[in-house]
C-alpha cells in the first residue's frame, strides 16, 4: 500500500515537465561547476605535487561539487515537496486516500519515499560526473561514498521538512516559501559560530550545514547520522500527526 | 439480514456550531438509503464521518462489524466512497487512475484487470479508458468517480450526490446502476432531488439542521405522506392569517397577489374546510386545484416550523 503510493508519487512527478526540467537544469549547472573544478585542479596540480600530504583529486573536485549540489537542492526541494499534501487537499483528492484502507503513516511515508526517489536519482546522476574522472585518474572511493551519503541524508532531511510544511500550508506557493525559509534558517544557523566569543553549541548542533560538512570530510560519525535520522523522523511524525488532525478539525 | 453500518449517537461540532446532532441509524445488505436534506443540513458531514474522513465528536460507527476508530483498515476495506467533488487525479488517464485505486484498496494483483474491466463496463467508461481525466466532461468525470467507488466491490457504497452534473440519460443509467448494486450491497446516497429518492431508494432519511427527523422505508413513507398542496386563486386578495387558523393547514406560500399555495393535511376534509372558509369570507374563489403530491410535501411539513407564512 505504502509502496503503491510511493510509486504513484514518483511516476506523477514525471508526468509533468517539473521533474524533467529540474533534472536537466541541475545536471547542466553541476556539469558546469564540475568542469570548472577540474580546471582548477589541473592548474593546481604542479603545486600540489610538491606538497607532502596535499589534497588530492577527490578533495579538490568531489567535495566542492557535492557542496554546491547541496545548495542547489536546498532551492529545488521545496518546489518538489510543495504539492505533496497541500495539492491533494486543494483538489479534494485527499479523501480518496483517507477513505481507502491505508493508514495516515502509509500516506505520509509513501509520499516521502516517492519524492525521495527522484532526489536519489539526482544524487546518482551527480555521482556519475566524478566517476567519469576514472578514465584518466584515481578517486578516493571512500570519500566519494561519504559525500553521497552526506548528500542523501541532507536531502532526506529537506524532503521531510518540505512534506511537513506541505501538510500545514493551504497553498503550494506558501508551502514552497515556508520550506525554503525553514531550511535556510537551519542552514545558516551556525554562522554565529564564526565569532569566537559568541559561540553557541546549541546552534552549532542544530545547523544542517555542520553535520553535512562533517560527513563530507569522510568522517562518518554516529553523532551526525543520528542527528539526521532524528531530524527526519521528527518531521515525518509531525506530518502524520498533522494529517490525523485533519480528521479532528474544529 | 446482515447489518453493514451501525451508527450510534453521532455528534459533530465545528467549534461551537453543531453540524450533526445525535444521528443514529443502521444499514443492512440490500438496502438503498436515501439521505435527504436541504443544503447545510449535515448530509456531507455525516457521510464524511462514515467514511473516516472526519472524526465524530461523539458516537460510534461500525462498518461491516468493524469499529471505524479501532480497526480503521478492516472497516475501510468494505467501503466505497464518492465525495461531493469526485477525487480524481487529473493528470492520469482513466485506466491509470483506476489501477491506482485498485492498488490502494488492496485488490490482489491478478484480479486487478478484471475488477477494472467490470467497473468500466458498469459505468460506461470503455471508450474513454485511455483519455486523460482532465480532458473528460463533467459527466464522465462523475462516472469515473463512481467507478472508483465500486471498483473493489465493497459491501458498503456511499455516494454523495452521485447524479450531479449528469445529463438525463446518464442520470437514468446511474439510477439503474444504483438499483442493481443495491441488490447485493448496502448503499447510502445523498441528494436534494426528491424524486431521485423515490426512484432509487428503499429507505429514506431526512436530516435537517443536523438532526434526523425521519427514518422510514419508502413504502412507510408513502403511507405517512398525509400532506397535500392545493393552489387557490381568488378575485380579492385573500387573508392568509385567517386560513392558517384552520385545523389541518400547515403552511401557505404566496405565488402572486391573488394566488396562494396551501400545504394541508390529507385527513379530516381540510380542503373542504378551506373552500368553505374562502367562500364565507367572500374573496371570490376562482380556482382550487390539488397539486400532484410529491415528497416535497413531506419535506416541507417536516422541515418547516408549523404554521408559518412564506410571504
B226-310: same fold as B3-223? no
Q: Cβ neighbours of residue A196 under 8 Å, at least 6 residues apart?
A: none
- Domain B3-223 class in CATH: alpha beta
Q: Looking at the complex, report in whole angstroms how far the Cα of residue B244 sits from the nearest Cα belonging to chain A.
A: 42
Query: Which residues in chain B have Cβ-Cβ distances shorter than 8 Å to A93?
Result: 87-89
**Poorest-pLDDT segment among A1-5, A73-77, A204-208:** A204-208
Interface test with A, best of B69, B75, B100 (most A CBs within 10 A): B100
Higher local confidence (pLDDT), A82 or B229? A82
Domain segments of chain B as ranges: 3-223, 226-310
Of all residues in chain A, the one with the smallest CA distance to B78 is A101
Grid coordinates representing B104 are 490502494
Q: Report the DSSP beta bridge partners of residue B228.
A: B264
Higher local confidence (pLDDT), B209 or B146? B146
Instruction: Answer whether residue A91 shows pLDDT above 80.
Output: yes
Burial class of residue A1 in the structure, from the number of CB atoms within 10 Å of its CB (0-12 exposed, 13-18 middle, 19+ buried): middle
- CATH topology for B226-310? Alpha-Beta Plaits (3.30.70)
Cβ atoms of B83 and B160 closer than 8 Å: yes
Instruction: Answer whether residue A139 shows pLDDT above 70.
Output: yes
Residue B310 is predicted with a pLDDT of 47
DSSP states of B158-184: EEESTTTT--HHHHHHHHHHHHHHHTT
Rg of chain A (C-alpha set): 20
Distance CA B150, CA B157 (A): 7
Q: Looking at the complex, report in whole angstroms how far the Cα of residue B109 sits from the nearest Cα belonging to chain A.
A: 12
Residue in the structure block whose three cell numbers are 577527490: A58
Question: Region A79-100: what's the mean pLDDT?
Answer: 91
Burial class of residue A114 in the structure, from the number of CB atoms within 10 Å of its CB (0-12 exposed, 13-18 middle, 19+ buried): buried
Residue B210, sorted as left (phi over 0), alpha (psi -120 to 50) or beta, turns out to be: left
Residue B309 is predicted with a pLDDT of 46
Higher local confidence (pLDDT), A143 or B239? A143
Higher local confidence (pLDDT), B240 or A196? B240
Residue B299 is predicted with a pLDDT of 67
Instruction: Answer whether residue B283 shows pLDDT above 50.
Output: yes
Q: How confident is the model at residue A67 (pLDDT cuts 50, 70, 90)?
A: very high
Query: Which residues in chain B have Cβ-Cβ distances shorter than 8 Å to A6?
Result: none
Question: Region B46-50: what's the mean pLDDT?
Answer: 90
Residue from the list B83, B100, B104 with its beta carbon closest to the beta carbon of A95: B83
Cβ atoms of B30 and B182 closer than 8 Å: yes
ipTM value: 0.86
Cβ atoms of B72 and B149 closer than 8 Å: no
Rg of chain B (C-alpha set): 23
Distance CA B311, CA B301 (A): 17
Residue A27 is predicted with a pLDDT of 93
Instruction: Answer whether residue B101 shows pLDDT above 60.
Output: yes
Question: Region B270-275: what's the mean pLDDT?
Answer: 84
Phi/psi at B233 (5° precision): -115, 135
Residue from the list B79, B88, B91 with its beta carbon closest to the beta carbon of A99: B79
Residue A225 is predicted with a pLDDT of 94
Distance CA A233, CA A170 (A): 23
Q: How confident is the model at residue B220 (pLDDT cuts 50, 70, 90)?
A: confident
Asked if the Cβ–Cβ distance from A247 to B101 is below 8 Å, we say no
Instruction: Answer whether residue B307 shows pLDDT above 50.
Output: no
Instruction: Answer whether residue B306 shows pLDDT above 60.
Output: no
Q: What is the 3-state secondary structure (H, E, C) of chain A?
A: CHHHHHHHHHHHHHHCHHHHHHHHHHHHHHHHHHHHHHHHHHHHHHHHHHCCCCCCHHHHHHHHHHHHHHHHHHHHHHHHHCCCCHHHHHCCCHHHHHCCCCCHHHHHHHHHHHHHHHHHHHHHHHHHHHHHHHHCCCCCHHHHHHHHHHHHHHHHHHHHHHHHHHHHCCCHHHHHHHHHHHHHHHHHHHHHHHCHHHCCHHHHHHCHHHHHHHHHCCCCCHHHHHHHHHHHHHHHHHHHHHHHHHHHCC
Query: Which residues in chain B have Cβ-Cβ distances shorter than 8 Å to A100?
Result: 76, 101, 104-105
Helix/strand/coil percent split, chain B, to 5: 35, 30, 30
CB atoms under 10 Å from CB of A163, counted, come to 29
Q: Is B90 on the interface with A (CB under 8 A)?
A: yes
**Poorest-pLDDT segment among A16-30, A46-60, A151-165:** A46-60
Domain segments of chain A as ranges: 2-46+56-245
Query: Which residues in chain B have Cβ-Cβ distances shorter than 8 Å to A111?
Result: none
Higher local confidence (pLDDT), A122 or B215? A122
Residue B292 is predicted with a pLDDT of 63
Question: Region B184-192: what's the mean pLDDT?
Answer: 88
Asked if the Cβ–Cβ distance from B52 to A247 is below 8 Å, we say yes
Distance CA B231, CA A228 (A): 76
Average pLDDT of chain A to the nearest whole number: 89
Cβ atoms of B40 and B210 closer than 8 Å: no
Give tens-digit pLDDT for A179-236. Answer: 999 999 988 887 765 566 666 777 778 888 889 988 988 888 899 999 999 999 999 9
Question: Region B291-311: what's the mean pLDDT?
Answer: 59
Query: Which residues in chain B have Cβ-Cβ distances shorter than 8 Å to A98?
Result: 51-53
Residue from the list A94, A101, A103 with its beta carbon closest to the beta carbon of B105: A101
Amino acid at each position: 500500500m505504502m509502496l503503491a503510493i510511493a510509486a504513484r508519487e514518483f511516476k506523477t512527478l514525471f508526468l509533468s515537465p517539473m521533474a524533467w526540467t529540474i533534472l536537466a537544469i541541475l545536471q547542466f549547472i553541476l556539469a558546469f561547476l564540475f568542469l570548472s573544478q577540474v580546471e582548477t585542479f589541473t592548474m593546481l596540480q604542479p603545486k600540489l605535487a610538491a606538497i607532502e600530504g596535499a589534497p588530492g583529486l577527490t578533495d579538490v573536485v568531489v567535495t566542492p561539487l557535492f557542496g554546491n549540489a547541496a545548495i542547489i537542492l536546498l532551492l529545488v526541494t521545496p518546489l518538489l515537496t510543495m504539492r505533496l499534501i497541500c495539492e491533494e487537499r486543494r483538489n479534494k483528492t485527499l479523501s480518496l486516500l483517507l477513505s481507502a484502507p491505508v493508514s495516515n503513516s502509509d500516506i505520509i511515508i509513501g509520499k516521502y519515499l516517492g519524492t525521495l526517489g527522484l532526489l536519489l536519482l539526482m544524487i546518482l546522476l551527480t555521482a556519475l560526473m566524478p566517476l567519469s574522472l576514472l578514465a584518466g585518474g584515481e578517486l578516493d572511493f571512500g570519500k566519494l561514498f561519504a559525500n553521497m551519503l552526506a548528500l542523501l541524508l541532507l536531502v532526506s532531511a529537506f524532503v521531510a521538512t518540505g512534506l511537513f510544511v506541505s501538510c500545514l500550508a493551504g497553498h503550494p506557493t506558501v508551502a514552497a516559501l515556508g520550506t525554503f525559509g525553514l531550511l535556510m534558517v537551519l542552514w545558516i544557523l551556525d554562522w554565529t559560530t564564526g565569532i569566537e566569543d559568541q559561540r553557541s553549541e546549541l546552534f552549532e548542533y542544530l545547523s544542517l550545514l555542520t553535520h553535512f560538512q562533517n560527513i563530507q570530510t569522510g568522517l562518518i560519525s554516529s553523532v551526525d547520522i543520528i542527528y539526521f535520522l532524528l531530524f527526519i523522523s521528527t518531521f515525518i511524525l509531525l506530518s502524520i500527526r498533522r494529517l490525523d488532525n485533519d480528521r479532528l478539525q474544529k | 439480514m446482515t447489518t453493514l453500518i451501525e451508527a450510534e449517537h453521532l455528534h459533530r461540532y465545528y467549534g461551537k456550531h453543531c453540524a450533526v446532532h445525535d444521528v443514529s441509524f443502521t444499514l443492512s445488505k440490500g438496502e438503498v438509503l436515501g439521505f435527504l436534506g436541504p443544503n447545510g443540513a449535515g448530509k456531507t458531514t455525516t457521510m464524511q464521518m462514515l467514511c473516516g474522513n472526519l472524526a465524530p465528536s461523539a458516537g460510534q460507527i461500525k462498518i461491516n462489524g468493524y469499529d471505524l476508530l479501532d480497526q480503521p483498515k478492516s472497516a475501510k476495506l468494505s467501503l466505497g466512497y464518492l465525495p461531493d467533488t469526485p477525487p480524481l487525479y487529473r493528470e492520469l488517464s482513466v485506466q491509470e487512475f483506476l489501477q491506482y485505486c485498485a492498488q490502494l484498496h488492496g485488490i490482489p494483483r491478478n484480479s486487478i484487470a478484471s475488477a477494472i474491466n467490470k467497473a468500466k463496463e458498469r459505468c460506461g467508461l470503455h471508450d474513454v479508458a485511455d483519455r486523460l481525466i482532465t480532458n473528460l466532461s463533467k459527466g464522465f468525470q462523475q462516472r469515473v468517480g463512481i467507478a472508483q467507488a465500486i471498483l473493489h466491490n465493497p459491501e458498503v457504497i456511499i455516494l454523495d450526490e452521485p447524479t450531479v452534473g449528469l445529463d438525463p440519460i446518464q442520470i437514468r443509467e446511474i439510477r439503474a446502476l444504483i438499483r442493481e448494486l443495491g441488490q447485493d450491497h448496502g448503499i447510502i446516497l445523498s441528494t436534494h432531488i426528491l424524486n431521485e429518492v423515490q426512484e432509487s431508494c428503499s429507505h429514506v432519511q431526512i436530516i435537517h439542521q443536523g438532526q434526523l427527523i425521519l427514518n422510514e422505508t419508502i413504502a412507510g413513507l408513502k403511507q405517512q405522506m398525509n400532506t397535500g398542496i392545493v393552489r387557490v386563486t381568488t378575485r380579492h386578495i385573500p387573508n392568509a392569517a385567517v386560513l392558517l387558523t384552520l385545523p389541518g393547514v400547515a403552511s401557505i406560500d404566496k405565488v402572486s397577489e391573488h394566488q396562494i399555495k396551501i400545504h394541508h393535511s390529507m385527513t379530516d376534509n381540510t380542503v373542504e374546510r378551506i373552500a368553505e372558509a374562502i367562500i364565507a369570507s367572500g374573496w371570490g374563489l376562482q380556482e382550487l386545484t390539488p397539486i400532484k403530491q410529491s415528497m416535497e410535501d413531506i419535506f416541507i411539513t417536516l422541515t418547516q416550523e408549523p404554521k408559518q407564512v412564506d410571504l
